[in-house]
Homo-oligomer: A and B are copies of this chain.
Amino acid sequence: MTDRLAAQFAFLNESDRLKSVLRATTLVDGSRPENSGEHSWHLALYALVLADQAAPGVDINRVIRMLLIHDLVEIDVGDVPIHSANGQAHASAETMAAEARAADRIFGLLPNDLSGDLQALWEEFEAAQTPDAIFAKSLDRVQPVMANLMSGGGTWVAYDVSFNQLESRVGVKIAKGAPGLWDWIRVKAVSWFEIHA
């Protein structure tokens, strides 16, 4: 039991470092960059509150668990903003390989049973093939859209993003798991880009 708890807390203490990983997106009030720990909390709350936007059969409890762990690899790799490098860096082979190594290291701190369960959940999220993962990805994509709308443009201004780029890089993925959500927020994004283009 003692060794098991030591491994559980080694993971929980290492996870604390996610609070120091900064994202390109700011808080809703624009006051500072968001960190990936508080981002993960906000997304889990999104899942709790927007569960009615998920397809039938999506298990919101699994979605919440996925979102709680989805960014832990950033402790080693950092956040790769979706609009950086003209939208090419986020899902590059290099980034994905580095994230896989980070997952081995970080989930590997846990006792074997937990390590296997949580790494499989992270891999399911990354693969974005199951209904739970597709919905989780939609939430991960919609939250920065709302933050940008609230904070005056945020990463759209910082990376000189067009509405078409937003739709192709982000909107398509939101719509895949939560079409009603993209319909609703798309209207607001269109207005923003019309005013600020």
- Interface positions of A (Cβ within 8 A of B): 1-2, 4-5, 8-9, 11-13, 15-17, 19-20, 27-29, 31, 34-35, 37-38, 40-42, 44-46, 48-50, 52, 61, 64-65, 68-69, 110, 114, 118, 146-147, 150, 180-181, 184
**Copies of this chain present:** 2
Whole-angstrom distance between the Cβ of A22 and the nearest chain B Cβ = 12
Query: Which residues of B lie under 8 Å from residue A52 when comparing CB positions?
Result: 4
What are 23 A-B pairs with beta-carbon distances under 8 A? A4-B52, A12-B42, A12-B50, A12-B146, A13-B150, A16-B29, A17-B28, A17-B29, A19-B27, A19-B38, A19-B42, A20-B29, A35-B38, A37-B37, A37-B38, A37-B41, A37-B42, A41-B41, A41-B44, A48-B68, A48-B118, A49-B114, A49-B118
Does the CB pair B16–A49 fall under 8 Å?
no
